[in-house]
Chains A and B, each alone.
Chain A
Amino acid sequence: SQQGEEDPQALSIQEGENATMNCSYKTSINNLQWYRQNSGRGLVHLILIRSNEREKHSGRLRVTLDTSKKSSSLLITASRAADTASYFCATSGTDSWGKLQFGAGTQVVVTP
């Protein structure tokens, strides 16, 4: 079963717009990570946010974490065609740090 659930399942935007996707999870976590995957290839690590953190930035990426609501969001600002990919959140539990549990992903298409 999937721990994380991403929303929306698919997102289509134009270059320059912002893209926001959400992730909800069910059990207590140690950290939450966001990954990008291009066309069924390997996952690229984007950002890790620990359970005691509320917000983190990396370049054009902004991640928030609300442990009381068991949810996280990923914002990509000023999107580019190269951002077209599937985005996954993955949670690491408090008693199983190495076992990442993924959602089904958000498929993002950025058109020029």
Chain B
Amino acid sequence: ETGVTQSPTHLIKTRGQQVTLRCSSQSGHNTVSWYQQALGQGPQFIFQYYREEENGRGNFPPRFSGLQFPNYSSELNVNALELDDSALYLCASSKTYNEQFFGPGTRLTVL
């Protein structure tokens, strides 16, 4: 158990809809990162939040957005869902410059 939780576990949406995924960081961690993992591939970095500010972004379009709250919980929002957005979404929390600890993930299916 890493102390990082994610909700929901599974989610089914249709193309064009919007989705919000949630993450609760491990206590004492000030940084949260989000990753997308397609089937059979390694995770791809979406973005990172440090003290409620975006602190780096991967190669993802603006319809992927996020928030980090004062209690270090976080949200990933995806607008205008596409079929290729179907993936496992992972959040990871860390203290600056240290190991990232991952949650169990949210499996998103877009039909």
Report which A residues bind B (CB closer than 8 A): 2, 4, 30, 33, 35, 40-45, 48, 88, 90, 96-105
Residues in B with CB closer than 8 Å to A44 are 2, 102
Pairwise interchain contact B42-A98, C-beta atoms closer than 8 A: no
B68-111 near A? 1/0 per residue, CB < 8 Å? 00000000000000000000101010101111111111010000
Residues in B with CB closer than 8 Å to A98 are 31, 33, 48, 50, 55-56, 94, 100
Whole-angstrom CA separation of A48 from B97 in the bound complex: 11
Whole-angstrom CA separation of A9 from B31 in the bound complex: 31
Pairwise interchain contact B43-A100, C-beta atoms closer than 8 A: yes
Report which B residues bind A (CB closer than 8 A): 2, 4, 31, 33, 35, 39-45, 48, 50, 55-56, 58, 88, 90, 92, 94, 96-105, 107
Pairwise interchain contact B45-A2, C-beta atoms closer than 8 A: no
Report the minimum CB–CB distance from A24 to chain B (whole Å). Answer: 14
Residues in A with CB closer than 8 Å to B97 are 30, 97
Give the residue name and chain of the A residue nearest to B43 (CB): A102
Report the minimum CB–CB distance from A90 to chain B (whole Å). Answer: 8
Give the residue name and chain of the B residue nearest to A102 (CB): B42
Report the minimum CB–CB distance from A54 to chain B (whole Å). Answer: 19
Given A88-B42, A99-B48, A104-B41; A41-B105 close (CB under 8 Å) = yes
Report the minimum CB–CB distance from B83 to chain A (whole Å). Answer: 19
A to B CB contacts below 8 Å, 8 in the list: A40-B39, A41-B104, A43-B102, A45-B101, A97-B96, A102-B42, A102-B44, A104-B41
Residues in B with CB closer than 8 Å to A42 are 2, 4, 90, 102-105
The answer, among A2, A4, A35, for a CB contact under 8 Å with B102, is A35
Residues in B with CB closer than 8 Å to A30 are 97
Residues in A with CB closer than 8 Å to B102 are 35, 42-45
Given A100-B33, A100-B100, 5 more A-B residue pairs with CB atoms under 8 Å apart are A42-B103, A44-B2, A98-B48, A99-B58, A102-B42
